[in-house]
Structure 1
Amino acid sequence: MTVPTNAEYDLWIRRFHQAPDAPVRLLCLPHAGGSASFYFPVSAALSPRIEVLAAQYPGRQDRRAEPSIGTVAELADRIHRVLGAVEDDRPLAIFGHSMGATLGFELARRLEADGRPPAVLFVSGRRGPATHREETVHLRDDDGLVAELKSLSGTNTALLGDEEILRMILPAIRNDYRAIETYRRPEGGPLTGPIVALIGDDDVKSTVEEAKAWAEETSGAFTLRVFPGGHFYLAAHQQAVLAEITDALAAHAS
């Protein structure tokens, strides 16, 4: 297997604010249909104390000409691979929202296998990976897919009304939904590092009880934080979410 280059790393991993002296890094993983820019406000708020990185998946924004990746496992493999392209001994934490939470879990499993577990795994807006719902949003027609996006309020509604932009983004969104809806937790034991689960109390994609199932995925510390709101509760509670991240990483960021 060829060793990934720095150019590949920069294609996959975005850094909005330079923080070379930060003692800890936070890799943010977007939701289905999301992009790295979703985490720009997080980077602005946490830098320079914490260096915020954000993954840019293929098939969107400046990578829209590239084919999307069809499974969570392959996406985790690719990100895991490019993370090895740059030498950096600082602790790495992971924050993933929705599909990004499950992707974060898979990435954490790969990093643990390397002997370098994440400092903290933050899983937001997603039920535990051992829970299962039969979901088929990816099989809906375009109108059905747009209706799903509007119901979750996760995509700018102005974009949803622009037919030309919709034609560009719907294939990537559909692919992401296919990847997460066909995901099944693989065999294997729990992680050893801490998990912090964050959930809205009215999230249609995960009940609070389903979010509690993340406790089964680590032999280490588990924390659950419940916020008022739905699937994108974090938009209305950004400061509180940032405080949770900062507090959980305090031991590494001092």
Structure 2
Amino acid sequence: MNVGAPRTAPRENICANGWLRRYRATTGVRRRLLVLPHAGGSAGFFHTWGAAFDSSTEVLVARYPGRHDRLADPCITTMSELADRVTEAILPFHDVPLSVFGHSMGASLAYELALRLGRRHGSRPAALHVSSRKPPHRLTPRALQEQGDEALIEEMRRLGGTDESVLGDPELREIVLPAIRADFTIVGTYGPRAAEPVGCPVYAYIGDDDGGISVADMAAWSDVAVGGFELDVLPGGHFYLVEQQEPMVRLIAARLSD
């Protein structure tokens, strides 16, 4: 595809019964990118991605319940339910090539969504992009959800990617902790499982200083990639994609299909 110039001030709206934030294409939709955030993350983390791709690319970002203006919606604590709900939400948007990007927990969710599209709907993503997460057959879950609040907060600090002003404020922590605990329950109860192939290319990304995941771990995503596999290592830790947003977007944009 021709990447072209990034958009400015894309139109955005909430759709799919609140499950997706949609950054509309401005010259006609030729392709879509679904972005699935990490544990404890929200659609707002990827707000700048809405304008980062060309004017024919529509960006959709999943909005998990229990945070921001979905604060009153019950949190989900199993990967199967979360994957079912996001799959249902994305079905109306599969009329053009749909690529899926997931970071950390979102990578596992992206994989489960790709499997559901194939098994249940006879469809498949144009490509699966996975970041900073072991593949399903190499997962070693940790039961952090069974520990106290301080352990969860310390893990969020270790990983990075969360504003310290939120983690350090007792009132804000009380608001965000239920969603964080729910997400870590998903992470802690998912996998390991068989390496079931997805019928599309898989692109993997990792920071070269990620203390919890190795390059060899990310390379093992090739075991589910019958449609081709590539791995990119960028400078940084678990949240390398914050400082490396521009090269990251260039890599993804070059791999989007019409």
- Which residue identity lines up with residue 242 of structure 1 in the other structure? V
Q: 1 CA distance for matches of 2:161 and 2:181?
A: 14
User: In the TM superposition, what is the alpha-carbon distance from 1:205 to its structure 2 partner?
Assistant: 2.7
1:40 is the counterpart of 2:47: yes
- Which residue identity lines up with residue 88 of structure 2 in the other structure? R
Corresponding residue number in structure 2 for 1:237: 244
Q: Which runs of 5+ in 2 are unaligned?
A: 1-13
DSSP 3-state at the match of 1:164? helix
- Which residue identity lines up with residue 164 of structure 1 in the other structure? E
CA displacement, residues 139-185 of structure 1 (integer Å, 9 cap, x when unaligned): 22111111111111110111112111110101110110110121015
Q: TM-score normalized by structure 1?
A: 0.91
Q: TM-score normalized by structure 2?
A: 0.89
Q: 2 CA distance for matches of 1:87 and 1:145?
A: 35
Corresponding residue number in structure 2 for 1:109: 115
Q: Give the counterpart of 2:61 among 51, 54, 64.
A: 54
DSSP 3-state at the match of 2:176? helix
1:89 is the counterpart of 2:95: yes
Corresponding residue number in structure 2 for 1:3: none
Q: 1 CA distance for matches of 2:93 and 2:38?
A: 27
CA displacement, residues 18-63 of structure 1 (integer Å, 9 cap, x when unaligned): 5461200000000001111111111111152311000001111111
Q: Is the 8 A contact 2:23 2:58 kept in 1?
A: no
Q: Give the counterpart of 1:130 among 128, 131, 137.
A: 137
Q: Give the counterpart of 1:171 among 164, 169, 178.
A: 178
User: In the TM superposition, what is the alpha-carbon distance from 1:74 to its structure 2 partner?
Assistant: 1.0
User: In the TM superposition, what is the alpha-carbon distance from 1:188 to its structure 2 partner?
Assistant: 6.8
Segment of structure 1 superposing worse, 34-43 or 128-137: 128-137
User: In the TM superposition, what is the alpha-carbon distance from 1:196 to its structure 2 partner?
Assistant: 0.3
Q: 2 CA distance for matches of 1:122 and 1:87?
A: 18
User: Aligned-residue CA RMSD in angstroms?
Assistant: 1.7
CA displacement, residues 41-100 of structure 1 (integer Å, 9 cap, x when unaligned): 11111152311000001111111111111111110101111223x365111110000000
> When the two structures are aligned, how many residues end up with a matched partner?
244
- Which residue identity lines up with residue 171 of structure 2 in the other structure? E
Q: 1 CA distance for matches of 2:217 and 2:171?
A: 37
1:77 is the counterpart of 2:92: no
User: In the TM superposition, what is the alpha-carbon distance from 1:242 to its structure 2 partner?
Assistant: 0.2
Tell me which stretches of 4 or more aligned residues in structure 1 moved more than 2 Å: 16-20, 185-189
Corresponding residue number in structure 1 for 2:187: 180
Q: Is the 8 A contact 2:102 2:131 kept in 1?
A: yes
Q: 2 CA distance for matches of 1:237 and 1:131?
A: 26
Q: Which runs of 5+ in 1 are unaligned?
A: 1-6
- Which residue identity lines up with residue 126 of structure 1 in the other structure? R
Q: Is the 8 A contact 2:136 2:195 kept in 1?
A: no
DSSP 3-state at the match of 1:130? helix
**Closer/same/farther in 2, CA of residues 88 and 218 from structure 1, 3 Å limit:** closer
**Closer/same/farther in 2, CA of residues 19 and 110 from structure 1, 3 Å limit:** farther
Q: Is the 8 A contact 1:17 1:44 kept in 2?
A: no
